[in-house]
Amino acid sequence: MREIIIGIVCMVVIAVASSLILDAVDYSSKTTYTSKNNTVRL
Amino acid sequence: MKSLLNIRWLKSINVVLLLMVLSLIPLSAVSENVYAQQNVDQTLKASPEKGAVPGGVSGTSSDSQFWRQIRKGATGTVSIPDQKAGILVQSEGDLWRAVRNGPVSKYGAWSMLGIFVLLLLFFTIRGRIRISAGISSEKITRFTSIERIGHWLLASSFIILAISGLNILYGRYIFPDIIMSKAMFASMSAYLKIAHNYVAFSFMFGLALVFIVWVRHNFPSWRDIPWILQGGGLFSDKLHPHAKKFNAGQKLIFWLTILGGVSLSVSGWSLLFPYTTSFFSDTFALLNTLFGLGLPENLTTIQEQQFASIWHGAMGLFLTIIIIAHIYIGSIGMQGAFSAVGSGQVDLNWAKEHHDLWVEEVLEKQEKLKETPTPGPAE
């Protein structure tokens, strides 16, 4: 049963860590994206 | 006599008038034709090419032609970096909405209801699959700690993703004004959406961990064929087809989870980071190369998002249905199955009935370890 709790705790920890990392990313550095069909994307 | 003459005179006038009227009919017809011809000539002369409006009164462009092209997704040019803003009306959006709110939602709901009915029917007829030889006094280690942590990391993530995902697809039909107020539903949906976005990364970690620890046991083998032909022994207490650590049914669940999970992760990534991927264009290009399907390869950014949304929803529903069946057989459906991922220790008789070849392997290893002489202290 200990592993069930560890698994759930891992799930919460990874989710929180992901949110902190993604919120810290500076998205303004990448404003455009060019695909192979030459569409410039935000 | 005089009146008689008057009558004849009147008659002659009538005849003349009649002749005059009759003579005018062809004349008027001719004149109408000429007039019409003149109109056509004038219109043709005044009409510019490509359906533009003649006359120059309301401009020379045809509004209907103009809006028809806009409606079909004609792309203009814009001076801002976001070039997709050059499309005013994206017609594929209609199709996306129709497919998402139509077949995907409809058949998804029916399939989920169907799996519950099927499992209820199976439980009613077959009952709980019990250990035929009865509970043994011995236990055998089925899964190690890391295997179980991987399983529960993946399972707990999937449950949250499934609940929050189902809320995105069906919540608006169930909760507002029936179970809770619109405001409460909006708040709940917002938090569930945030959870969905970030728990997705836990799911990806769990998927990777489960793949690493279990993939070597899940490659298909010839022993899977008799297991499938005997229905995995699910329909009889006396039938126990041979199986190693994972039987054919578990291998199927494993690969569906891994491949479906990767597919969900990739399409979810497209939705998390919109307009930055071209997964569907690339996939369609690969499929065209392999099978010559003629799928569209130059998808617009919006189309990429729409394909990702539809695929993510459909694949999520499919996996949810598969996992409902998995949860059933791993809990109330089979005696002794849950402890495999619970405590990690399973009843020896259960193990012999469902994974006899694996039990033999484990016992052989234990015997070899016992036979190996332990090195004594150095003299």
Per-residue pLDDT tens digits for B168-197? 999 999 988 888 899 999 999 999 999 999
Question: What's the pLDDT at B350?
Answer: 93
Question: Could you please report the per-residue DSSP string of B57-70?
Answer: SS-SS-HHHHHHHH
- List, in order, residues 6 or more apart from B124 with CB less than 8 Å away: none
Which pair of structure tokens corresponds to residue B216?
């070597």
Q: What is the pLDDT of residues B93-127, one digit of tens each?
A: 888 999 999 999 999 999 999 999 999 999 999 99
Q: For residue B202, give the nearest of A6, A11, A35 by CB distance.
A: A11
Report which DSSP code applies to B373.
P
Q: Is B75 helix (H, G, I), strand (E, B) or coil?
A: strand
**B163: alpha, beta or left, given left = phi > 0 and alpha = psi -120 to 50?**
alpha
Question: Could you please report the per-residue DSSP string of B271-290?
Answer: HHSTTS--HHHHHHHHHHHH
**Helix, strand, coil fractions of chain B, as percent rounded to 5:** 70, 5, 25
Amino acid symbol at B353: E
* Residue with token string 């920890």: A13
From chain B residues 3-22, the ones with a CB under 8 A of any chain A CB are none
Question: What's the pLDDT at B42?
Answer: 56
Taking CB atoms and an 8 Å cutoff, what residues of chain B touch A41? 82-84, 275-276, 301
Q: Is B88 helix (H, G, I), strand (E, B) or coil?
A: coil
Taking CB atoms and an 8 Å cutoff, what residues of chain B touch A36? 278, 281, 298
| Pairing, β B139-141 against β B345-347 | antiparallel
Question: What's the pLDDT at B4?
Answer: 45
> Which whole number is the average pLDDT over B32-42?
51
**B323/A contact by beta carbon, under 8 A:** no
Question: What's the pLDDT at B29?
Answer: 45
A23 Cα to chain B: minimum distance (Å): 11
Torsion angles phi and psi, residue B373, rounded to 5: -70, 135
Chain A contacts to B (CB-CB under 8 A): 1, 3-4, 6-8, 10-12, 14-19, 22, 31-33, 35-37, 39-42
What Rg, from alpha-carbon coordinates, does chain A have?
A: 18
Q: Do A7 and B148 touch (CB under 8 A)?
A: yes
Q: What is the pLDDT of residues B260-299, one digit of tens each?
A: 999 999 999 999 988 888 899 999 999 999 999 989 888 8
B359 Cα to chain A: minimum distance (Å): 23
Residue in B334, B306, B177, B314 with CA at minimum distance from that of residue B240 = B334
pLDDT band at B301 (very low <50, low <70, confident <90, very high): confident
A9 Cα to chain B: minimum distance (Å): 8
Using CA atoms, how far apart are residues B280 and B304, in angstroms rounded to an integer?
A: 6
> For residues B270 and B305, is the Cβ–Cβ distance under 8 A?
yes
Question: Could you please report the per-residue DSSP string of B128-190?
Answer: -B--TT---S-EEE-S-HHHHHHHHHHHHHHHHHHHHHHHHHHHHHHSBTTTB-HHHHHHHHH
Which pair of structure tokens corresponds to residue B135?
């509970």
Question: What's the pLDDT at B30?
Answer: 45
Torsion angles phi and psi, residue B87, rounded to 5: -100, 115
Using CA atoms, how far apart are residues B303 and B91, in angstroms rounded to an integer?
A: 10
Question: What's the pLDDT at B177?
Answer: 82
Whole-prediction pTM: 0.77
Which pair of structure tokens corresponds to residue B345?
């220790």
Q: In the predicted model, what is the mean pLDDT of chain B?
A: 84
Residue in B208, B214, B216, B213 with CA at minimum distance from that of residue B154 = B208
In the predicted model, is pLDDT for residue B136 greater than 80?
A: yes
User: Which runs of E-coded beta strand occur in chain B?
Assistant: 139-141, 345-347
